Structure 1
Amino acid sequence: MELLWSNKVLAAKDISKIIKEYIGWEKNTTYTVIKRLIDKGAIIREDPGFLCKAAIPKRTIQIIETQALLNKLYNGSLSNFLTEYIGNQTLSTSEVLELERIINEYKL
């Protein structure tokens, strides 16, 4: 998906070559994953040339995955996550001020 988000449209054969170089997957494995993503509606296939493009924006996936992570690890609680995460960090004054700015921006 990262390839498609950054390149907009790629031929499946080009995706396969890139994935082979970086991950080591064979062509059949890559094509199987592409097919599954097409079936799930994450990728749109265009012909001729078996061109692939993302059907779902990266930001949408980030939102879904972030919520799933919060649900899985922190019972859906953003405050529990922030307490745990920030409690294990050494924050600079500028980072604290930036977090305060962000929180103030989203106050009701």
Structure 2
Amino acid sequence: MNEIHIHEGELNIMELLWSNKVLAAKDIAKIIKEYIGWEKNTTYTVIKRLIDKGAIKRENPGFLCKAAISKRTIQNTETNALITRYYNGSLNKFLTEYLKNQRLTVSEILELERIISEQKH
């Protein structure tokens, strides 16, 4: 299966589906109109694009939509793309640069240490 890349506008619709499991396209359009201001046709075009990509499954009757890919899968795909694009694919460079500029709490540091410790085994 090819990686599915989700753009910002598409992500709005996917977030709705990840939160609600199944929504009719007309309900997605109403919610998106209220929060983002898109017209129904724009939302339907984006839904169709997501169906074509394999990110959404459509069920009839009622043009019911549900996510065909998990949020975690999309997060991993987009994170890997970001690391490849900006850090030449080096997770170490990304983590080093990112963490240098963060104020981590003690609990966050302990969690990172735990994860690194697990990787050693």
Question: TM-score normalised to the size of structure 1?
Answer: 0.93
1:74 and 2:62 matched = no
Displacement over 4 Å in runs of 4+ = none
Shift of 1:67: 0.5
1:24 and 2:27 matched = no
SS of match in other structure, 2:66: strand
Structure 2 alignment gaps of length 5 or more: 1-13
Give the aligned residue type for 2:110. Answer: L
Question: TM-score normalised to the size of structure 2?
Answer: 0.84
Give the aligned residue type for 1:10. Answer: L
**Structure with larger RCO (C-alpha < 8 A, sep 6+):** 2
Structure 2 Cα separation of the partners of residues 92 and 41 of structure 1: 39
Shift of 1:96: 2.4
Structure 1 alignment gaps of length 5 or more: none
The answer for the alignment partner of 2:26 in structure 1 is: 13
Structure 2 Cα separation of the partners of residues 101 and 64 of structure 1: 24
SS of match in other structure, 1:39: helix
Give the aligned residue type for 2:94. Answer: F
Structure 2 Cα separation of the partners of residues 63 and 57 of structure 1: 10
Aligned length: 108
